[in-house]
Amino acid sequence: MIPVQGVEHQTVAVLGLGRSGKATAAALAAGGAQVVAWDDGNDTREAAAADGLRILDLTREGNWQGISLLIVSPGIPHLYPRAHPVIAMAWQLGIPVDNDIGLFFRSYATGDWDQFDRAPRVIAVTGSNGKSTTTALIHHVLEECGRPTQMGGNIGTGVLSLEPAIDAEVAVLELSSYQTDLARALTPDVAVMTNLSPDHLDRHAGLGGYFAAKRRLFAEGGPDRAVIGVDDPEGQYLANQLSMGPADDRVIRVSSGQKLDRGAWAVFARKGFLSEYRKGRQAASIDLREMRGLPGAHNHQNACAAYAACRAVGLAPREIEAAFHSFAGLPHRSQTVAEIGGVRFVNDSKATNVDAAAKALQAFPRIRWIAGGLGKEGGIAALQPHLGAVAKAYLIGHSARDFALEIGQTPYEIADTMEQAVARAAAEAEPGDTVLLAPAAASFDQYPNFEKRGEHFTDLVLALTADR
């Protein structure tokens, strides 16, 4: 645990008592704060009280006496579509509002660092798609290269549940727009933006607000190095804003598809090869084509971003390349579950929006596509240009029939359930095919989350292997 600094003898309120909220309350208490807490759920409040937390109804103005700070869990809206009433109350009373990410960045460095030979560093990764894979890949490379490292944030461990840093350690954090938007302190040593595509637009009042939340990691944080994916206009804009000119190597531009051979520092992937360019000259090259944990152009972009971040903290190209080979990928993100009779089964349940599904659909040559669930605003008509490799779609869940109307001439059948879809796709697949779960939809019609959906797919595929 990382005790929060600067809160000793203060009363601090915590709003939201899920995993993040409870960890925050513990870290505040470890820093000497008097913690009060509130959650809209009665059962959650009762469970927290049973664990010893002091519950205080923060919807009542009279209960705010003496509170100096409000810490908000990331899932709670603080501005759009409207501020939670407790947050609005804090505004009215002039009480600062922050989150666990802000507390982490103000508390991570301690006096113990004066005794270290090499100061710890923080790599923070944000973006629309690929940030989890990029974060995990950076962490994996650091581990494989013998560097002390921890991983947390929006993936795995909450930031305040990480252990205090040791000599030369690198903390690798995945940060969502919900987390970067509110944090009052953002000071990573290396900041990474993978890409930007429409998502969480209701929470940020449109694409501009969504981008502004991501941009704060760079504009507010002033990282020593910024790794920016420049395959979209927002990335190009951000890289230009941060750079002082072509010779400025504080910005490392990253691409999957573009050749970036100008400027001070760039990393790009084309035709399956990653290239690093420094001052217009090639510095390194890696063949990504046989790395099964990184299939497709979207994962090659992730590899470029991770490579650039690892280079920024001093790792050598050949060290990084060797570690890439042993990366198995993340569950539910282009995860190869099995290969049966020459047919590959891939779980990309995390592909919950059109952009993520499009990237998965471009990663394999011939696809049996399992899609559907609770469709998002706008449907999936935008996927039509990316369906050329789809031999057949097997549509499941609430939006199956809507999806059928939006995929053009692509052959399909309504399978309704995951069991039916896997059985039919496996029966019809031929050697060389990939049975791909890339839903392009939320899971909440049939599953509590995308992880459970991916686990169900995986269990069904593994049952097929047992039958062989």
Of 460, 251, 196, give the one whose Cα is nearest residue 337. Answer: 460
Residue 206's pLDDT band, with cuts at 50, 70 and 90, is very high
pLDDT computed for residue 293 by the predictor = 87
Q: Using CA atoms in the order 250, 252, 253, 257, what is the torsion angle rounded to 10 degrees?
A: 170
Separation of alpha carbons 199 and 451, rounded Å: 19
What global pTM score does this model have? 0.86
Residue 468's pLDDT band, with cuts at 50, 70 and 90, is low
Q: Are residues 57 and 114 located together in one domain of the fold? A: no
Whether pLDDT at 466 is above 80: no
Residue 331's pLDDT band, with cuts at 50, 70 and 90, is confident
**Residue of 78, 99, 139, 154 with catalytic role:** 154
Domain boundary among 300, 325, 350: 325
Residue 85 domain-assigned? yes
CB atoms within 10 A of CB 212: 16
Tell me the angle at which helices 418-428 and 450-467 cross, rounded to the nearest 10 degrees.
Answer: 40
Q: Are residues 316 and 341 located together in one domain of the fold? A: no
pLDDT computed for residue 298 by the predictor = 86
DSSP 4-59: PSS-TT-EEEEE--SHHHHHHHHHHHHTT-EEEEE-S-HHHHHHHHHTT-EE--TT
Whether pLDDT at 145 is above 80: yes
Strands in 67-72's sheet, in edge-to-edge order, are 54-55, 34-38, 11-15, 67-72, 97-98
Residue 2 domain-assigned? no
Active site residue 200: yes
Looking up residue 371, the CATH number of its domain turns out to be 3.90.190.20
pLDDT tens for 229-267 read 999 999 999 999 999 999 999 999 999 999 999 889 999
Residue 302's pLDDT band, with cuts at 50, 70 and 90, is very high
Q: Which residues are annotated as a binding site for ATP?
A: 127-133
382-to-159, 385, 392, 402, 411 alpha-carbon distances in Å? 36, 7, 17, 13, 17
**Residue of 200, 376, 398, 452 with catalytic role:** 200
Q: Which residues are annotated as a binding site?
A: 127-133
Q: Are residues 232 and 275 located together in one domain of the fold? A: yes
Q: Are residues 296 and 445 located together in one domain of the fold? A: no
**Residue of 131, 204, 300, 359 with catalytic role:** 131
Looking up residue 270, the CATH number of its domain turns out to be 3.40.1190.10
- Side-chain-facing half-sphere of 267: CA atoms under 13 Å: 28
Residue 1 domain-assigned? no
| Structural tokens at position 294 | 């990184």
Q: What is the CA radius of gyration of the chain?
A: 23
Residue 330 domain-assigned? no
Active site residue 131: yes
Q: Would you call 208 exposed, middle or buried from its count of C-beta atoms within 10 A (0-12, 13-18, 19+)?
A: exposed
Q: Are residues 125 and 27 located together in one domain of the fold? A: no
Residue 4 domain-assigned? no
User: Which H or E element spans position 208?
Assistant: helix 207-219
Q: Are residues 370 and 288 located together in one domain of the fold? A: no
Q: For the chain, how far is it from start to end, CA to CA, in angstroms?
A: 47
Q: Are residues 262 and 315 located together in one domain of the fold? A: yes
255, 225 Cβ separation under 8 angstroms: no
The domain of 67 spans 11-98
Q: Are residues 78 and 181 located together in one domain of the fold? A: no
Q: Are residues 307 and 377 located together in one domain of the fold? A: no
81-to-58, 77, 110, 202, 261 alpha-carbon distances in Å? 21, 7, 38, 6, 43
Q: Are residues 142 and 267 located together in one domain of the fold? A: yes
User: Which H or E element spans position 236?
Assistant: helix 233-242
Q: Are residues 352 and 286 located together in one domain of the fold? A: no
Percent of the chain with pLDDT over 90: 88
Residue 6 domain-assigned? no
Total domains present in the chain: 3
Looking up residue 92, the CATH number of its domain turns out to be 3.40.50.720
72, 15 Cβ separation under 8 angstroms: yes
Q: Are residues 360 and 433 located together in one domain of the fold? A: yes
Residue 167 domain-assigned? yes
Domain boundary among 301, 325, 349: 325
pLDDT computed for residue 201 by the predictor = 85
Residue 3 domain-assigned? no
Domain boundary among 63, 98, 133: 98
Mean of pLDDT over the chain: 95
Residue 227's pLDDT band, with cuts at 50, 70 and 90, is very high
